Structure 1
Amino acid sequence: MTLLSESPAVMAADAPTVLTVDGLHVSYGSTAALHGVSLDVRAGETVALIGANGAGKSTTLRAISGILKARSGSITWDGKPIANLPPDRIVAAGIAHCPEERHVWPHMTVEENIMLGAYLCRSRSEVQRRAGMAFHRFPRLRERAKQLAGTLSGGEQQMLAIARALMSEPRLLMLDEPSLGLSPKMADEVFDVVRSINAHGVTVLLVEQNIHNALSVASRAYVVKTGRIAASRPAAELRDDPDLLRAYLGG
Structure 2
Amino acid sequence: MPALAVKNLHVAYGSIAALHGISLDVQKGETVALIGANGAGKSTTLRAISGLLPVSSGDVLWEGRSIANLAPDRIVAAGIAHCPEERHVWPHMTVAENIALGAYLCRSKEEVQRRTGMAFHRFPRLRERAHQLAGTLSGGEQQMLAIARALMSEPRLLMLDEPSLGLSPKMAEEVFEVVRSINVHGVTVLLVEQNIHNALSVANRAYVVETGRIVASRLSGELRNDPELLRAYLGG
Scaled by the length of structure 2, the TM-score of the pair is 0.99
Residue of structure 2 aligned with 1:179, choices 159, 164, 167: 164
The answer for the alignment partner of 2:179 in structure 1 is 194
> Which amino acid letter does the alignment assign opposite residue 184 of structure 1?
P
Equivalent in the alignment of 2:53: 68
Which residue identity is paired with 1:129? R
Partner of 1:83: 68
In 2, are the aligned partners of 1:55 and 1:225 still within 8 Å (CA)?
Answer: yes
Aligned match of 1:234 in 187, 194, 219? 219
User: Which structure 2 residues correspond to residues 1-251 of structure 1 after superposition, within 5 A?
Assistant: 16-251=1-236
How many angstroms apart in 2 are the aligned matches of 1:207 and 1:81? 22
**Shift of the alpha carbon at 1:154?**
0.3
Alpha-carbon distance between aligned partners in 1 of 2:167 and 2:235, rounded to the nearest angstrom:
25
Q: Identity over the aligned pairs, expressed in percent? A: 83
Give the CA deviation at 1:242. 1.7
Residues 231 and 248 in structure 1, CA contact (< 8 A), matched pair in contact too: no
Indicate the residue corresponding to 1:11 in structure 2: none
Residues in 1 aligned to 2:209 and 2:230: alpha-carbon distance in whole angstroms: 12
- Structure 1 counterpart of 2:43, which letter? S
Q: 1:23 and 1:76 mapped to 2: Cα distance?
A: 11
Shift in Å, 1:249: 2.7
Name the CA distance, whole Å, in 1 between partners of 2:229 and 2:56: 32
For 2:95, the aligned partner's letter is V
SS of residue matched to 1:146: coil
- Tell me the amino acid that sits aligned with residue 25 of structure 1: H
SS of equivalent residue, structure 2 residue 3 = strand
In the TM superposition, residue 245 of structure 1 has moved relative to its aligned partner by 1.8
Unaligned 5+ residue runs, structure 2? none
The structure 1 segments of at least 4 consecutive aligned residues displaced by more than 4 Å after TM superposition are none
Within 2, Cα distance between the matches of 1:210 and 1:75?
Answer: 26
CA–CA distance in structure 2, aligned partners of residues 215 and 107 of structure 1: 35
The SS at the match of 2:190 is: strand
Aligned residues: 236
Post-superposition Cα deviations, 1:107-163, rounded to whole Å, max 9, x if no partner, equal: 000000000000000011111000000000000000000000000000000000000
